[in-house]
Amino acid sequence: MAKANRVYKKKAPVAKNDRVEADIIDLTYQGMGVAKVEGFPLFVANALPGEKVLLTVTKVLKNYGFARIQEIVKVSPDRVELQDKLALTTGIAPMANLSYPAQLAWKQRQVRELFKKAQLRVAVAPTLGMAEPTHYRNKAQVPAQMVNGRLETGFYRRGSHKLIPTDSFYIQDENVDEAIRVTRDVLQELGVSAYDEETGKGLVRHVMARYGKATGQLMVVLVTAKEDLPEKDAIVEGLRARLPKLVSLVQNVNNKKTNVIMGQENHLLWGQEEIEDQLLGKAYLIGPNSFYQVNPETTAKLYNLAKDLADLKPTDTVIDAYCGIGTIALTVADKVKKVLGVEVVEPAIEDAKKNAKLNGIWNADFIVADAPEQMHRWAEEGKTADVVFVDPPRKGLTQDFIEAVGVMRPERLVYVSCNPATLARDVKDLLAQGYEVDGRVQPVDQFPQTMHVEAVVKLVKK
C-alpha cells in the first residue's frame, strides 16, 4: 500500500495551486487516493483507485504533496455516493465512499502485500465481513466543544481540532448515537460548559456511551476536567427520563493536560457501576475503563475462528497472552483442562477474574504481568502449554516473547492481530523459532468503513 515517506529525489514537478489531470492508482492507510505526477505522489481525499481526476494541488512538501478534486473525469465502478459527507470529512469512515465488496477485497490485498513484502509465501483467504457494515460500534467517545456559545458534540475535521457538530456517526450503534445526542441536549439545556484545551477552562471534555447489544443495557459517561459537576441532579433526571435503556450514569474525572481521553477517577451518578453484555454464550461486566471489543458481531466470528484453529482438546493447557478482560480465555475454557491468562493492565485482570466468577469458570487463572516476561519465567521454570493464543497491541510481539515461545515450544500458536504489518514481521520470526504456518491467513473486517483489518493465523511446531 502507498506510504507518504518514500523518498522523491528530484525537484517536485508541481507547485501549489497547479491544476493537473491524473489517475488514482492506490489508497493510503488513511483512505486517501494516490496519484503520481512524473513519479511524485499526491494524496487526494475522496479519490478511488481506477479513477481519472482533475486536481488542484493544495500543498507541496519535499517528497509528496496533497491535492483536492475539481472534477472526476472517470468514476470508479466501486464508488458509493454518500448522503452523509461527514463520514469522509471527519475521518469517521474513510472508506465509506468505496463499495463494501471492494473494501473487503482491498483488505485482503493489504494483508497479502504485507506478507509478500516480508518475503513470506502464504495463502490469504477472502476477508470475513458483515451483512450490515454500518452502525456496528457498541462504544463511542465523542469530544465536546463550545460552538457559538453552547456545548456541542461531534468529531474533529480531519487533521484539525475544529469540531464538526453531528447527530449521526454512521458506524455507531443507533442506541449509542441516541445517547450522545440526548446527553448533548440535556447539557445544553442546563447551560453546562465544554472544556477548552487551550485555556483550561470549562467542564465537559468527552461524552462516552457503551451499549450491550445482547442485553440492551446502556452506560453514559461524562468525562469532566474537574470533580465539581453543577446541575448534577438535573442531569441525572434529564437522562433517565429520555434514555429508557440507561442503567449506568458515571462521571469520569480527567484533570490532566493530555490527549488521553479517560482519567482513572470514576464517580457513579446513578444506577449500576457496570453494564453486562454477552459474547459467545459468556457474560461480561463492562465498566467505564474496561477494554471490550467494539464490534460484537465480528468479534464472535474472530474468536470462533481462533478457537476452531486451535484444535482444542480436553487435556490441553492453554495460555492467553495479552488476555485483557479474559474474552478469549473464557471462550475456550470449557473446551480444555486449564487456561492461564496474562495481562499487564491490573484493572483488566480484575475484570477477567470477575467475569470468570460470573460465568462459573474455575479452570482459568489470570495473572498481572508483562506477557513477554511471564512467558520467559514459565519457560525457565520448565512450564509449557499445548496452545498459546496471542492478541497483542498494534506494535505486535516483542523479541523476548518470540524467544520464549521458542523455548516453551507449544504445539499450536494462534495469532490474532490488529496490525497485519507487525503480524507478517512476527510470523517470520516465529518461523525462525521452528514453527510453520498451518492453513491460510484469515482477514476479518472488525472495523468496516475504515482502513483497519484484523487477521488470524495458526502456526504449528515443525
Which grid cell is 407?
A: 523455548
Which of helix, strand or coil describes residue 198? coil
Alpha carbons 325 and 4: distance in angstroms, whole number:
36
Catalytically annotated residue among 54, 283, 418, 460: 418
Alpha carbons 24 and 280: distance in angstroms, whole number:
42
Q: Is 54 exposed, middle or buried (0-12, 13-18, 19+ CB in 10 A)?
A: middle
Alpha carbons 405 and 426: distance in angstroms, whole number:
12
Binding residues for S-adenosyl-L-methionine, as ranges, are 293, 322, 343, 391
Alpha carbons 193 and 417: distance in angstroms, whole number:
40
The partner residues of 67 in beta bridges, in order of sequence, read 44, 57
CB 419 within 8 A of CB 443: no
Nearest one of 100, 33, 47, 102 to 75, comparing CA atoms: 47
The partner residues of 2 in beta bridges, in order of sequence, read 28
Among all chains, which residue has been given the C-alpha cell 500543498?
59
The partner residues of 279 in beta bridges, in order of sequence, read 282
User: ∠ at Cα 411 (380, 396), nearest 5°?
Assistant: 70
Amino acid at 76: S
Annotated active-site residue 323? The verdict is no
The 10 Å CB-count burial string (b at 16+, else e) for 24-36 is bebbbeebbbbbb
Which of helix, strand or coil describes residue 219? strand
Alpha carbons 338 and 365: distance in angstroms, whole number:
8
Alpha-carbon 161 to chain mean position: 21
CA atoms within 13 A on the CB side of 103: 26
Backbone angles phi, psi at 50, to 5 degrees: 95, -10
Alpha carbons 156 and 114: distance in angstroms, whole number:
30
Name the DSSP class of 373.
H
Which grid cell is 328?
A: 478469549
In the chain, what is the greatest distance between 2 CA atoms, to the nearest angstrom? 68
Alpha carbons 292 and 324: distance in angstroms, whole number:
8
CB 163 within 8 A of CB 150: no
Binding residues, as ranges, are 293, 322, 343, 391
Residues designated catalytic: 418
